[in-house]
Amino acid sequence: MILKSFRIMKTKLDIALTLILFAISGCSVPEYLPKTRAIDVNQYGSYIKIIRIEGSKVKGELLAADTTSLIVFADSSQDKIVKIVPVREVKRFTLRYAQPKKYWWTLAVFSAICASHGWGAIISVPLNLIITASVSISAENAFTYSQDDITYDQLKMFARFPGGIPSNINLSGKK
């Protein structure tokens, strides 16, 4: 009886850890985003992901923004091109202005520590997984804004060119 319940718990723990590993592997941010200690000296724009009302998603570096359009240095397959997205076509957006803190390592470490609890681990391991996963998820989303948090006019603060694209820059050329 005890052995059977231990196998069930082990299976549930394996499934939970597998799902967490899948979540970790899908979370990556562009390298040009600054570390938290260098936010104020970053020369690049923030990373933005735009979901359009109709059409494909646009994601890349925010070059400029105003109340009528967003100019993005887009990562589309192998080419990097500049896309101008009118604000009226935007369904929603997510802006990330710094690389998030990574606390996912705590899941394995604290779960291993909970193994020393003996039979109490039946309660402490799942509880610990819930708490450390929620802290890790909130840390991943710490440096993001969406249309609910910021206006289109305020987006320019996170652009490479907050005053607009300079006249000496050709947007039609490739990098």
pLDDT tens for residues 63-83?
Answer: 888 888 998 888 766 677 888
What is the predicted pLDDT for the residue at 3? Answer: 46
Residues 62, 73 within the same domain: yes
Say which residue, 167 or 50, is predicted with more confidence.
Answer: 50
What is the predicted pLDDT for the residue at 43? Answer: 64
pTM score > 0.75 for this model? no
Band (92; pLDDT cuts 50, 70, 90): very high
- Helix segments in the chain, DSSP class H: 2-25, 105-114, 121-140
Residues with Cβ < 8 Å from 80, sequence gap 6 or more? 60, 73, 74, 174, 175
Residues 3, 18 within the same domain: yes
Cα 173 to Cα 58: distance, rounded to the nearest angstrom: 18
- What secondary structure letter does DSSP report for 171? S
Band (13; pLDDT cuts 50, 70, 90): low
Taking residues 6-19, report their average pLDDT.
Answer: 59
Q: Report how many helices (DSSP H) and strands (DSSP E) the chain contains, helices first.
A: 3, 6
The mean pLDDT value of the chain amounts to 76
For residues 144 and 155, the answer to whether their CB atoms sit within 8 Å is: no
Domain residues for the domain of 56 are 34-100+144-164
Taking Cα atoms as reference points, which of 38, 33, 37, 36 lies closest to residue 48? 33
Q: What kind and span of H or E run contains 52? A: strand 47-52
Residues with Cβ < 8 Å from 66, sequence gap 6 or more? 152, 153, 156, 164
For residues 111 and 57, the answer to whether their CB atoms sit within 8 Å is: no
Residues 51, 95 within the same domain: yes
What is the predicted pLDDT for the residue at 34? Answer: 60
Instruction: Specify the amino acid at residue 163.
Output: G
Residues 44, 92 within the same domain: yes
Q: What is the pLDDT of residues 102-159, one digit of tens each?
A: 777 777 777 777 777 778 778 888 888 888 888 877 777 778 888 888 888 888 888 8
What is the predicted pLDDT for the residue at 91? Answer: 93
Residue 39 has a CB neighbour count (10 Å cut-off) of 14
Band (39; pLDDT cuts 50, 70, 90): low
Residues 71, 94 within the same domain: yes
Band (51; pLDDT cuts 50, 70, 90): very high
172 SS3 class:
coil
Please give the tally of structural domains in the chain: 2
Residues 66, 114 within the same domain: no
CA dihedral 54, 84, 47, 130 (to 10 degrees): -10
Q: Cβ-count burial of 125 within 10 angstroms (0-12 exposed, 13-18 middle, 19+ buried)?
A: buried
What is the predicted pLDDT for the residue at 140? Answer: 75
Taking residues 13-37, report their average pLDDT.
Answer: 60
Residues 90, 128 within the same domain: no
Band (17; pLDDT cuts 50, 70, 90): low
